[in-house]
Amino acid sequence: MGFFRKLLALFGKKEAVPKTETNEEKKSFFLYIVKTPEIVTYFRREKGISRKDLELVLIDDGERPAYQVAQIAELLMKDLNVFYLLTDREEAFLELSEEAMEEYGLLLVLLPKETSRPPGNVVLDVEQWEKQLDIVSAVSYNTLTI
């Protein structure tokens, strides 16, 4: 009987796992990735832009891995005719650009990040979005003004 108590006591101890900001940031970033098409649709409708006239600009965050920004781009490219990606790491998105043309017939234009006036009519800045959007819930999300 004493053996089982010791065993339960040993397995019953739970160590507190310290939460770091990076884990929370990653979690919130991935929540936003899933909601990105809904957010863009909302802003398109709010601005009165038809789907065929939408020219989306995605501004890359150089501090995030390129695959995360590529995930966002892949979610968005299904419904677009023209897609601009402002980035300083063009080589990381060349394959994505070719894939967009082959699979969707989408022209994915890679522009330098220093472009003063991006050519699109809706801009999604990955660097700034977590500062603008509130916590995403399962039911709805708050909006940011463009």
Pairing of strands 55-59, 82-87: parallel
pTM of the predicted structure, to 2 decimals? 0.69
Instruction: Burial-class residue 57 by CB neighbours within 10 Å (0-12, 13-18, 19+).
Output: buried
Q: Is the pLDDT of residue 34 over 90?
A: no
* pLDDT-derived band at 112, boundaries 50, 70, 90: very high
Percent of the chain clearing pLDDT 70 (strictly above): 68
Q: What is the pLDDT of residues 35-65, one digit of tens each?
A: 888 888 888 899 999 988 999 999 998 888 8
Site of tokens 């043309």: 101
